Structure 1
């Protein structure tokens, strides 16, 4: 879904995507805490923290001249799409490192994948609620993601078939959405899916 509305918080004009993402992470944290316990919920929240920090600080790379002229811009600006992908890469690297050092078990990896599914599902639903769009697109988005989130919560085990279904559902929805197959959330889902597929393969080989 495209951002069509902005909200004023204190003196900041905040895009609906930020609000949707925050709500998504809060709900994902709560869901993982209920299902997997405090330990894995905190690992998920740490991942979110690192993602945001890298995304915000990456503005130094994407717009260095503005930061030099006005260092306070670090508070108001971010690294955009490039910075977001850098954040994903950083979090993926940390997960790989923790997995290699045995600080993250197979159950922990499954909990993180569940968290990613919940985040994406809630984010998509919130974007529908917070923005304007064609009714048919909104219905397809909500129905597809709510159905998959419930299905995955009940049946998902972190294996490649379920991960593949997660990616397939998002591709199907993206075809209906205005940004199509070049939407950042879809690309994120595909990258996350491929990453967790590789983790699943490694775990099965060990």
Structure 2
């Protein structure tokens, strides 16, 4: 059978247990055996990683050791798929530039509302924005048939390199209370080939209601299938 490893933990604000539990039924119904770990220590177990076809990571911030990252990277290079959403993959392990090199993009910020409209909780960073499917995204199996869609949640500003294939973007407008002078477009969904492995990052997913959004959930579920180790 095809094997999936869910690794979860880190900052509790992203609800790593509840968020990953949303996708366990889908994986089992799709024919995966599912192993769940609450620590990145499993990445250092070469035997487990060699037998894993898919890693779903939901670990925001936190830290990773050199042997753990080496184990994850080696598995991806050998063909293990790697995916996740929001801070669980795009804001993991800020201590590690090598991890950033693996995934190809890193959370920088999520711009907030106009100062006079802020109330001091997480909704200060919930902005209405559009996720725009790119030309490449319209042809890709993960996002084909999905139209541009609207969300009101954290809008990730991502620093990235040119080795990612961007399936969707989101644009941060220039506002009078912000220091930047022109709109900035960030990748919202991207893929990356690393050795024989496939990586897919979906930046929406701050809260359970966003993960339940039809478009977001479709992308994440298709992404799990697409990155899974293939024979080709």
Q: Output the TM-score relative to the length of structure 1.
A: 0.33
Task: Give the number of the structure with larger relative contact order, counting CA–CA contacts within 8 Å between residues 6 or more apart.
Answer: 1
More strand by share: 2
